[in-house]
Amino acid sequence: MFKRLIRSNLRRVITKEKNIILKRKIPSLDKCYQDINELGIYLHIPFCEQICPYCPYNKELYKPDVARRYTKAVKAEIDRYSDLIGNKSVSSFYIGGGTPTTMLYSGLAEILEHAFKRFTIQCDIHMESHPNHLIANNLNTIASMGIKHLSIGVEALQDKHLKTLNRPYTVEGVKKAVERAVNKNFTCVNVDIIFALPDQTYYEIEQAGHALVEMGVDQVAAYPLFIFRYTQLGKTLKKSKHKVSNLFTRRKMLGILENIFYGANFRRTSVWAFTRSGVPKYCSVTVPLYLGLGGSGGSYLRDVFYLNTFCVAEYIKALEDGRMPIALSLDLSEAMQMAGWLYWRIYETRFKKIDFKARFGKDFNEIYGRYVKPLSLLGFLKDEEDEIILSDKGIYWLHAFEDLFSINYINTLWGDLKREPWPAEVAIQ
Ligand SMILES: C[S@@+](CC[C@H](N)C(=O)[O-])C[C@H]1O[C@@H](n2cnc3c(N)ncnc32)[C@H](O)[C@@H]1O
Ligand code: SF4
């Protein structure tokens, strides 16, 4: 109740909107893409070999025949966009999931080849992977597809925590998988780790941090365990005897990781990620505007946000019938566009005021200057005339802010879209 009140008041101040309601409406795509010269692409692969109890992402169990139909559907979706964006520069390409490596031999290469034919891709490809898939042969296949930045979902480096998360490998096994990837000459190997796990101690966090540095990875993305109410963990954790973290323990755990990574010459490259000095960062779509392909793919354009249906069968059927798989869309007012832009730039921990001016034609200080001064006095950020840089303290409080907004947004929007492939509308409270 209290959280809801803060959320709605903050939303009103930032976006000037009382309610945010996504509607079942396909936006005019010609109009959406006409003024865009550069964009990113996100491709969603919604398959996994097992369903983890904590995971909020849109996925279902992998079946080779469904993956083959999915491949055809994604190629058809690419065709629908080729006239609209074929000659625009794609400057960021990210394959996420689910588990993209489930489709290594059932269509992923075909989809990529097709995307390269239809779009003007001028960037490296970043892709997520599951540790159990990283045997030597598969790593060769991944490299041969032109993937230069690879992320591995390691999640924990103590067997008891891997067990709590129901991850299907041991610490010994996962270290070997990471070692094989690190020796493979990717531009950047990122490892995902989840901290603030049930019953996790500070000592275990410290152990995991040092182990990651020793494993020679280029980047670590460290997420606190988020509890999504529609996941299995979300339904059972409150009733269990496990000790869960609070804001204070999370802050201390993150502080331990910060000390270890800064001490090992890593720099902070996003709210969650630490990257070895001199290595380009691994990350999701980096440009402000992007097109999302696949089931649950979301597209964020200048004045509209839209989402594909989450149901894989409905996504495939829509494209087989020659329909667009878009389930919901939201027109973005200027205040919402600015808030969205700011949210993602802050996520990268720093941004230039001139980029705000280039996007909105307005002076950053005029719009947000009155908030910058007090935040700077509180030590949350540094205002360097032309650039805003978040401090570690500011980044931590952004975590808390994430908890308040993003988790609620995901719980509502993704939760509803998982239950209903084509909802009439979804209201975010
Ligand atoms: C799509 S998964 C990674 C690729 C692959 N599916 C795997 O599990 O190895 C993306 C990442 O999100 C993070 N993640 C998933 N659920 C989370 C949660 N409830 N809280 C925090 N991080 C989570 C994990 O670190 C995970 O590696
Ligand atoms: S964590 Fe990864 S493997 Fe597990 S269900 Fe989520 S996407 Fe699939």
The CB of 98 under 6 Å from ligand 2? The reply is yes
Chain CA centroid to CA 24, Å:
24
The protein residue with its alpha carbon nearest to ligand 1, atom 8, reads 153
> Which of 194, 235, 284 to mutate to test ligand 1, by most ligand atoms within 8 A of the CB atom?
194
The CB of 275 under 6 Å from ligand 2? The reply is no
Q: Give the Cα separation of 243 and 200 in Å (integer).
A: 8
Q: Beta strands 125-129 and 89-97: pairing type?
A: parallel
With tokens 């109740």, the residue in question is 1
Q: Give the Cα separation of 156 and 355 in Å (integer).
A: 37
Q: Give the Cα separation of 121 and 112 in Å (integer).
A: 10
Distance from residue 55's CA to the centre of ligand 1 (Å): 6
Question: Is the distance from CB of 195 to CB of 224 less than 8 angstroms?
Answer: yes
> Which of 50, 54, 57 to mutate to test ligand 2, by most ligand atoms within 8 A of the CB atom?
57
The CB of 130 under 6 Å from ligand 1? The reply is yes
Q: How many CB atoms lie within 10 A of CB 429?
A: 11
Q: How many CB atoms lie within 10 A of CB 120?
A: 13
DSSP 3-state of 380: coil
How many alpha carbons lie under 13 Å from residue 364 in its C-beta half-sphere? 21
Distance from residue 99's CA to the centre of ligand 2 (Å): 6
Question: Is the distance from CB of 409 to CB of 428 less than 8 angstroms?
Answer: yes
pLDDT at residue 235 in the model: 85
The CB of 51 under 6 Å from ligand 2? The reply is yes
Written as six digits, the tokens of 4 are 């809801």
DSSP 3-state of 247: helix
Is 28 exposed, middle or buried, given 0-12, 13-18 or 19+ CB atoms closer than 10 A? exposed
Distance from residue 188's CA to the centre of ligand 1 (Å): 18
Give the CA distances from residue 100 to residues 52, 91, 231, 327, in Å, rounded to whole numbers and listed in that order. 15, 20, 21, 23
Point out the ligand 2 atom lying closest to the alpha carbon of residue 130.
Answer: 3
Q: Give the Cα separation of 140 and 38 in Å (integer).
A: 31
Chain CA centroid to CA 422, Å:
23
Distance from residue 140's CA to the centre of ligand 1 (Å): 24
The CB of 209 under 6 Å from ligand 2? The reply is no
Give the number of the ligand closest to the Cα of residue 152.
Answer: 1
The protein residue with its alpha carbon nearest to ligand 1, atom 26, reads 153
The CB of 226 under 6 Å from ligand 1? The reply is yes
Distance from residue 154's CA to the centre of ligand 1 (Å): 9
Question: Is the distance from CB of 17 to CB of 335 less than 8 angstroms?
Answer: yes
Question: Is the distance from CB of 274 to CB of 219 less than 8 angstroms?
Answer: yes
- Smallest Cα–Cα separation from 276: which of 288, 293, 260? 260
pLDDT at residue 396 in the model: 84
Distance from residue 55's CA to the centre of ligand 2 (Å): 6
Point out the ligand 1 atom lying closest to the alpha carbon of residue 131.
Answer: 9
Residues 6+ apart with CB under 8 A from 287: 38, 39, 40, 91, 92
3-state helix, strand, coil split of the chain in percent (to 5) is 45, 20, 30
- Smallest Cα–Cα separation from 418: which of 166, 41, 51, 4? 51
> Which of 55, 95, 167 to mutate to test ligand 1, by most ligand atoms within 8 A of the CB atom?
55
Amino acid symbol at 175: K
Q: Give the Cα separation of 5 and 3 in Å (integer).
A: 5
pLDDT at residue 257 in the model: 97
The CB of 52 under 6 Å from ligand 2? The reply is yes
Question: Is the distance from CB of 266 to CB of 260 less than 8 angstroms?
Answer: no
Give the number of the ligand closest to the Cα of residue 96.
Answer: 1
Residues of the chain with pLDDT under 50: none
Hey, which residues does 94 pair with through a beta bridge? 42, 126
Residues across the chain: 429
Q: Give the Cα separation of 301 and 280 in Å (integer).
A: 26
With tokens 């629908």, the residue in question is 80
- Backbone CA torsion sign across 38, 337, 332, 77: positive
Q: What is the CA radius of gyration of the chain?
A: 21
The CB of 288 under 6 Å from ligand 2? The reply is no
With tokens 């469904």, the residue in question is 66
| DSSP label of 133 | G
Point out the ligand 1 atom lying closest to the alpha carbon of residue 55.
Answer: 16
Q: In b/e form, how buried is each residue of 388-416, taking b as 16+ CB within 10 angstroms?
A: bebbeebbbbbbeebbbbeebebbbbbbb
Q: What's the angle, vertex CA 56, arms to CA 51 and CA 60, rounded to 5?
A: 40
The CB of 380 under 6 Å from ligand 2? The reply is no
